[in-house]
Amino acid sequence: MERRWYEQTSSRTARFPIDPSSLRAAPNRPSVRAPSATPALSPVPGSVPVVDEAQPPKAPSESEFRFRLDESLTQGIGRIARHETTAAALFVETLSVDPDRSVHEIRKHCKRLRGMARLVRDVVGPAEYHRVNRGLRDMARMFADARDSRVRLDTLDALRADHELPPDFAPELDAVRLGLSEDHARQTEMLANSPLVRESALIALAQASRRFQGWEVPQDASSLGGGLTRMYTRGARRRAEAGTTDRAEVYHDWRKRAKYLRYGLELLGPAWPSVLGAHEDELHALTDLLGDANDATQLASVPHFSGAALTGPSEGMRGLIHAYRSDHWTQALGLGSRLYAERPRDFTARICAYCDAWWRDGGAPDPAEARPS
């Protein structure tokens, strides 16, 4: 009996349930937090790839995370789950090559899968949803410390590069950076050299993929309505709360809610690309603003910037961090007031109507594309 990819934990090769040639490179939206692109994995001919740990895999195609007209919702969920878990597994296998890139991609694929699960939560039931969500959440948390250590380092560098600081600040801030760099090196080394992390991650991904394959979702927009309403409502509530507080955890939670809604609209985008694509773009801009602010919060948590008695450079840097974060929060609040302007039931009814029309019309051309220029 052929061993599956997640069972081959002691080998330097692995089998995958789908052909990784589908993980073709695609232009990604720029992000200040996303590590730079890396060389691509070259699969051997055939459907059984060899994972070359000397090279990281290609960035998966963004177009794979979309429902299609030529498949049912049930089939689409199965296909997307196979694609996302396989892509994440490839980055787990090559973690030692480019840890920063791999950690970013692994966590992104887990969030996408959790977003898809949220969309159909009412259909599969709370017990099944929580089982899948917890498994993916706990797996992604294994990589959180490495991600946070990278963020603190990059945010310090970005703030120093973008703002003119007094020259006498440099020695102290250089010492802080050295400490952050050493911490990041420790975190990534522990990940790259941990068989337990590797095997636990691969098993969790395999379990999630199997559970998604068993989900049956009726081909009707009402199957998605409960998930859309819940994601939109929770984001709107966090937007309202954020307007009355400066607590970082509220903004961080708002970002998570906005990101899940963004993934939901990404899945449904083909129903009306010009409209849903624009909404998704604005949600992406919102999550970028909130994400950059959260990165500043991570840097502010460094003892050198959060202590009671700070020196001149530390005090100046802390003021800069808080000003940077406040500016991003202000921009996010303005954008959020428009993104959450509708009543939840009206938002859901509109998106579901687009989906029903898309399925009924069989993918008629997007009116915006058919319009003469």
Tokens of 280: 């998704």
Q: How far is the first Cα of the chain from the last one, in angstroms, to the nearest whole number?
A: 58
**Long-range contacts of 177-183, Cβ-Cβ distance < 8 Å, separation of 24 or more:** 177/153, 179/304, 180/149, 180/152, 180/153, 180/156, 180/302, 181/153, 183/149, 183/152
What span, in angstroms and rounded, lies between the C-alpha atoms of 362 and 201?
39
For the domain made up of 17-216, the CATH class stated in words is: mainly alpha
Q: How many CB atoms lie within 10 A of CB 279?
A: 17
Q: How many CB atoms lie within 10 A of CB 334?
A: 11
What is the predicted pLDDT for the residue at 169?
84
What DSSP character marks residue 365? P
Residues of the chain with pLDDT under 50: 1-52
What is the predicted pLDDT for the residue at 44?
25
Closest alpha carbon to 261 in 244, 294, 237: 237
CA 38 to chain centre: 18
What span, in angstroms and rounded, lies between the C-alpha atoms of 212 and 129?
10
What is the predicted pLDDT for the residue at 46?
30
Q: State the sign of the Cα–Cα–Cα–Cα dihedral 105, 111, 114, 118.
A: negative
Tokens of 245: 């507080």
Sorted by sequence, the CB contacts under 8 Å of residue 97 that are 6+ apart come out as: 38, 53, 54, 55, 56
Contact 122, 224 (CB under 8 A): no
Contact 74, 216 (CB under 8 A): yes
What is the predicted pLDDT for the residue at 7?
34
Counting Cα atoms < 13 Å in the Cβ hemisphere of 131 gives 12
This prediction has a pTM of 0.81
Instruction: Give the orientation angle of helix 222-242 with respect to helix 312-339, to 10 degrees.
Output: 140
Contact 293, 329 (CB under 8 A): yes
DSSP readout, 180-210? HHHHHHHHHHHHHT-HHHHHHHHHHHHHHHH
What span, in angstroms and rounded, lies between the C-alpha atoms of 20 and 44?
10
What is the predicted pLDDT for the residue at 170?
87
What is the predicted pLDDT for the residue at 285?
98
